[in-house]
Amino acid sequence: MSNFHLPMLANEPDAPFPDTGEALLHPNGLLAWGGDLSSERLLNAYRQGIFPWYSEDEPILWWSPAPRCVIFPENVHVSRRTRRRFNAGQFTISADTAFSKVIAACAESRKPGEGTWITPAMQNAFELLHQQSHAHSVEVWRDDRLVGGIYGLAMGRMFFGESMFNRETDASKIALIALCRQLQRWDFRLLDCQVPNPHLKSMGAVVIPREQFEEKLRQGLAQPFAPGPWTGRFTADERW
């Protein structure tokens, strides 16, 4: 860590983070290390557009990349294939009914021998945030089998997407589209995707400057949203 000259966070959960403008260019967005994954620290981090991302053999690393990958909920892309697959009636959608199963599925290695950044400590931290009604999941089911989903953190009218998984074709896309449609109904500003990849871009994700992201973040956090589980409040359209 000393090669990067990164600041180390103090042990107190409310210890301040460095200004996001101090994040490194290489690797893009690396801002600080250390601290813990307490709910207080995590909520403080996300309010500033900072998130943890690290492997199990590393200390906790904190990031604020620029530019930032986001989806404006009204601009999520629904392909013809995904639309047809959903409209065939094979899948049902729920929210906050299987958070533990969703995060566990997201934590599974994508390839044999490949690690995961969703460490047991990260899972425990987000389980607690879910119990506190800060973290939420969207689940996609085929019959009684969980075949896809997404989870993340909601604050004000901002949603910070963490990870999604797929066990059947298009199931994770269906989860993301359903989430974006609900966020649009609730007038959420953004779905934060953190860093871009081809899959997210195919779903309508774009990159915006850090300054624009942080302005949208301030606006979203300034708009309160009713706390509590999303079960029963999530609208899953019968047809797209």
Q: CATH class for domain 69-221?
A: alpha beta
The mean of the pLDDT values for the chain is: 94
Judge whether residue 210 has pLDDT over 50: yes
Judge whether residue 112 has pLDDT over 80: no
> Could you give the residue ranges of the DSSP H alpha helices within the chain?
39-47, 80-87, 99-107, 120-131, 171-185, 198-202, 210-221
Q: Cα–Cα distance between 37 and 169 in angstroms, integer?
A: 33
> Could you give the residue ranges of the DSSP H alpha helices within 24-77?
39-47
Convert 49-67 to b/e letters by CB count within 10 Å (16 or more is b): bbbbbbeeeeebbbbbbbb
Q: Cα–Cα distance between 36 and 39 in angstroms, integer?
A: 9
pLDDT of 119 = 95
pLDDT of 110 = 63
Render pLDDT for 144-197 as a digit per residue (tens, 0 to 9): 999 999 999 999 999 999 999 999 999 999 999 999 999 999 999 999 999 999
Find the helix or strand (DSSP H, E) in which 68 lies.
strand 68-71
Q: Cα–Cα distance between 130 and 228 in angstroms, integer?
A: 10
Judge whether residue 2 has pLDDT over 90: no
pLDDT of 116 = 78
Q: What is the mean pLDDT of residues 102-125?
A: 83
Beta bridge partners of 208: 68
Q: What is the mean pLDDT of residues 125-150?
A: 97
DSSP string of 197-218, one letter each residue: -HHHHHTT-EEE-HHHHHHHHH
Q: What is the mean pLDDT of residues 119-136?
A: 97
47-56, 88-97, 106-115, 224-233: least confident range: 106-115
pLDDT of 236 = 86
Q: Using alpha carbons, select from 175, 133, 169, 126 the residue that is nearest to residue 150.
A: 175
Give the strand order in the sheet containing 8-9.
Answer: 8-9, 30-34, 61-63, 51-52
Higher-pLDDT residue of 109 and 194 is 194
Collapsing DSSP to helix, strand or coil, 13 comes out as coil
Among positive and negative, which fits the CA dihedral 164, 167, 172, 173? positive
Judge whether residue 109 has pLDDT over 70: no
pLDDT of 238 = 84
pLDDT band at 1 (very low <50, low <70, confident <90, very high): very low
Collapsing DSSP to helix, strand or coil, 135 comes out as strand
pLDDT band at 75 (very low <50, low <70, confident <90, very high): very high
The residue ranges of every structural domain in the chain are 2-65, 69-221
Judge whether residue 111 has pLDDT over 70: no
Give 2-65's CATH code, choosing from 3.40.50.1370, 3.30.565.10, 3.30.1490.20, 3.30.70.3550: 3.30.70.3550
> Taking phi first (over 0 means left), then psi (-120 to 50 degrees means alpha), and beta for anything else, what does residue 49 get?
left
User: Is the peptide bond preceding residue 27 cis, with omega within 30 degrees of 0?
Assistant: yes
Most confident by average pLDDT, 9-13, 53-57, 107-111, 207-211: 207-211
Contacts (Cβ under 8 Å, ≥6 apart) of 215: none
93-97, 106-110, 180-184: least confident range: 106-110
pLDDT of 197 = 95
